[in-house]
Amino acid sequence: MNRILPAFVAAALLTAPAAFAADAAPSADRAPPPKPPSAMTPTEIKAYNVGLAETHPYYIKCRKTLEIGSLVKKVRTCYTNEKWKQVIANSSQNARETAEAFVSAAGNSSN
């Protein structure tokens, strides 16, 4: 009995990675989410993300941010990795343009 249990555990550990690899392989060609991720419930997002790598373009990530003017209310924003890249790039571009506008406006003042 003492020899059977370790052998069984070892066999289970050796076959587990193959089972997970089989589940992960078909998800490489998965379609984008059927509806906007922010409109999905956390349960739907978890179900959609099953089998996707966290680096996959369609993997959905959510972030919570505090709502301005409230100490406790949070806003949940969910996007795919692909969309997060676009949002971050747009935010960075907007910040650059704003900073440049302030610098050029400060240089044009004639007192």
89 in a structural domain: yes
The boundaries of the domain holding residue 100 are 35-111
Distances (CA, A) of 111 to 60, 104, 106: 52, 15, 11
Number of domains in the chain: 1
What average pLDDT does this structure show over 82-86? 95
* Cβ count near 17 (within 10 Å): 9
Q: Write phi, then psi, for 78 (nearest 5 degrees).
A: -125, 135
69 in a structural domain: yes
Give me the pLDDT at residue 9, please: 45
23/84: higher pLDDT: 84
Type and span of the H or E element at 36: none
Give me the pLDDT at residue 58, please: 95
What average pLDDT does this structure show over 18-38? 66
What average pLDDT does this structure show over 20-43? 73
Give me the pLDDT at residue 104, please: 81
* Lowest mean pLDDT across 30-34, 63-67, 86-90, 103-107: 103-107
20 in a structural domain: no
